[in-house]
């Protein structure tokens, strides 16, 4: 076990976590949530998405959120953009995002349902986004959804993931983010995924984005760590889901991932007590039970301690 290594945690709750929530979350609360996350020690926060509010009303205040958050030195603040119009809006800010994210898929059906475009069309659509971002010295992350399976096509051939990843690298992206969008992966699927990328990308050159629909996300994260992955996406209290992935639950909970890794002696730089404060706010703003196991245990322990005092 590499105790001295440090894992990079990207908190995607404010964007991927909130985009599928039915209850409207005010800009004030989003800003407070992000500011708490900034103080928790996560390496990166995906703040919002510059997508049409017609398609994702929950994120229609992206510009105002970016303008109001208190940026903390050492934290990267990123945004998802679907096209050049989204990039124009992001770059017009007085303090634009530190990193730009684009998204495609390893499944043609999912790509069409999620973006109304084929995989090839998505690549063509955001090629200028990548070029302009790099010209502005903004690193670019590229998501590949359905890297393990698709809700419409079933299991994804790892060679499809390899093909899309190769094209993204040719376009000049800085980071490949592999998404188990519907949360079906078992540890053996993580092995197959990275075997398919051998010779193109090492595990340590990727970020893994896990959903916990079937309760296997932590075991997959552990297996990915064993293979050499050192960068993970997660969402405070396990917020999330995807409107184009029926039945998919939220992202793996940040506090669950941090607890596991820190318990293994692996540094994340994240303060679990501060993360619980973030989780408390997140759990109240969505109005439903949250899946994070560590949060429920921590709140229970705090309540017992308070009663005993």
Q: Cα-atom radius of gyration of the chain, to the nearest Å? A: 18
Contact 46, 101 (CB under 8 A): yes
d(CA 80, CA 102): 6
d(CA 178, CA 250): 16
Reading the chain (309 residues) residue by residue, the pLDDT tens digits are: 444 578 999 999 999 999 888 889 999 999 999 999 999 999 999 999 999 888 889 999 999 999 999 999 999 999 999 999 999 999 999 999 999 999 999 999 999 998 999 999 999 999 999 999 999 999 999 999 999 999 999 999 999 999 999 999 999 999 999 999 999 999 999 999 999 999 999 999 999 999 999 999 999 999 999 999 999 999 999 998 665 555 566 899 999 999 999 999 999 999 999 999 999 999 888 877 888 999 999 987 766 666 665
Contact 106, 147 (CB under 8 A): yes
- The residues carrying an active-site annotation are 242
Angle formed by the axes of helices 272-286 and 254-263, to 10°? 160
């Amino acid at each position: 076990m590499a105790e001295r290594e440090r894992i990079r945690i990207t908190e995607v709750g404010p964007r991927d976590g909130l985009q599928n929530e039915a209850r409207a979350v005010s800009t004030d609360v989003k800003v407070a949530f992000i500011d708490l996350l900034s103080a928790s020690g996560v390496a990166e926060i995906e703040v919002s998405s510059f997508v049409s509010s017609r398609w994702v009303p929950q994120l229609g205040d992206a510009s105002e959120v970016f303008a109001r958050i208190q940026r903390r030195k050492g934290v990267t603040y990123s945004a998802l953009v679907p096209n050049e119009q989204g990039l124009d809006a992001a770059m017009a800010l007085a303090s634009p995002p530190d990193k730009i994210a684009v998204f495609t898929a390893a499944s043609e059906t999912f790509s069409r349902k999620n973006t109304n475009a084929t995989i090839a069309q998505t690549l063509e659509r955001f090629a200028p986004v990548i070029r302009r971002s790099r010209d502005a010295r903004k690193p670019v992350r590229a998501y590949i959804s359905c890297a393990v399976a698709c809700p419409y096509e079933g299991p994804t051939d790892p060679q499809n993931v390899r093909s899309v990843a190769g094209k993204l690298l040719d376009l000049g992206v800085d980071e490949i983010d592999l998404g188990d969008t519907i949360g079906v992966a078992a540890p053996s699927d993580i092995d197959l995924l990275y075997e398919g990328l051998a010779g193109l990308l090492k595990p340590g050159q990727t970020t893994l984005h896990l959903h916990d629909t079937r309760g296997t996300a932590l075991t997959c994260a552990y297996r990915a760590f064993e293979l050499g992955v050192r960068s993970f996406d997660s969402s405070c209290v396990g917020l999330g889901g995807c409107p184009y992935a029926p039945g998919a639950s939220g992202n793996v909970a940040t506090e669950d991932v941090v607890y596991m890794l820190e318990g293994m002696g692996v540094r994340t730089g994240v303060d679990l007590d501060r993360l619980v404060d973030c989780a408390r706010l997140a759990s109240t703003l969505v109005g439903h039970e949250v899946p994070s196991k560590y949060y429920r245990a921590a709140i229970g322990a705090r309540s017992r301690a308070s009663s005993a005092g």
